[in-house]
Amino acid sequence: MDAITDNLDLFVSGYWTSLKICLIALVGSLVLGTIIAACRVSPVAPLRWIGATWVNMIRNAPLTVLLFFFAFGLPEIGVLGSYWVFGVSALIIYTSAFVCEALRAGINSVSSGQAEAARAIGLPFGATLREVILPQAFRTSIPPLGSVLIAMFKNSAVLGAFGVGGDLFSVSDTLTSARGYAATPVLLGVAVGYLLITLPAGALLALLERKTAILR
């Protein structure tokens, strides 16, 4: 276990880098995903097509292909940046497709009678959306949205394997390849790091799911 105790500072800094990547990707993918979800449910047909194309293309391509495309394709057309920027952008774009689908499923789960009733009592469009539909849609979206975000944290490990330096995964690579520590204890340390996030997040999600469940 020397590998872990000797390099605790490295593990901790790797942990923070992973969290930082995820925090940025969280905000970015929620914003982008919401915009695309809005496109997918809009009454304007071309917007719906754009949203559908985006989701179907990105959801069915591996994150790794997106990463490669960003890091090695974009420089070819003169878009330069660090691995860090490319990696986080790819993660945001990949996750946005899943965020969009979670939100859209939530909106579609609200029965049309709700909107009809809201219009029947004279609520204008904005109020129908704000007071009746979105609150219900959001509650239904919480469990799938939570799974998406937990999956995103796990996907951030791919960035580390890809060479975005400093995160929890790349710590294991540094220690085992460059510094010659035995792989088993190092990887156990890294695994614990990921589980420290994913297990409580999963438990929290299950709790939220029970609290926000609606009887239909």
Partner 1 sequence: MSGGLVLYDVPGPRARRRQVILAIVVGLAAAGLIALVLHRLNAQGQFEAKLWDPLVNPSDKNFAAVWGLIGDGFVNTMKAAALAIAFSLSLGTVIGVARLMLGRWTRIPLVGFIELFRGLPVVISIFFASRVLPDLGVDLSGWPGGEGLWFVVIGLTAYNSVILAEILRSGVNALPKGQSEAAVAIGLSRLQTMGIILLPQAVRIMLPALISQLVVILKDTSLAAVLGVYPEMLNAAKYIYLNLDNPIQALFVVGTIFVVINFALSKLAGWVERRLSRSKRSPGQDTDDEVRYITDTAELAQ
Tell me if residue 110 falls in helix, strand or coil: coil
Least CB distance to partner 1 at residue 21 (A): 13
- Which of 4, 129, 142, 208 is close enough to bind partner 1 by CB under 8 A? 129
The region of 7-15, 22-30, 80-88, 99-107 touching partner 1 under the rule CB under 8 A is 99-107
Distance CA 184, CA 198 (A): 21
Question: Does residue 117 interact with partner 1 by CB under 8 A?
Answer: no
Comparing CB distances to partner 1, the nearer of 85 and 133 is: 133
Comparing CB distances to partner 1, the nearer of 23 and 196 is: 196
Question: Does residue 68 interact with partner 1 by CB under 8 A?
Answer: yes
Question: Does residue 107 interact with partner 1 by CB under 8 A?
Answer: yes
Question: Does residue 171 interact with partner 1 by CB under 8 A?
Answer: no
Question: Does residue 87 interact with partner 1 by CB under 8 A?
Answer: no
Cα 111 to its chain centre, rounded Å, is 27
Distance CA 170, CA 104 (A): 35
Least CB distance to partner 1 at residue 143 (A): 6
Residue type, position 106, single letter: G
The region of 6-14, 23-31, 84-92, 102-110 touching partner 1 under the rule CB under 8 A is 102-110
- Interface of this chain with partner 1, residues 23 to 62, rule: CB under 8 A: 40-48, 50, 56-57, 59-62
Which residue reads 């994150």 in tokens? 63
Which regions of 74-193 does DSSP assign to beta strands (E)?
A: none
Tell me if residue 38 falls in helix, strand or coil: helix
Do the beta carbons of residue 102 and residue 34 sit within 8 Å?
A: no
Ramachandran class of 180: left when φ > 0, alpha when ψ lies in -120 to 50, beta otherwise: left
Pair of tokens at residue 5:
């105790």
Least CB distance to partner 1 at residue 68 (A): 6
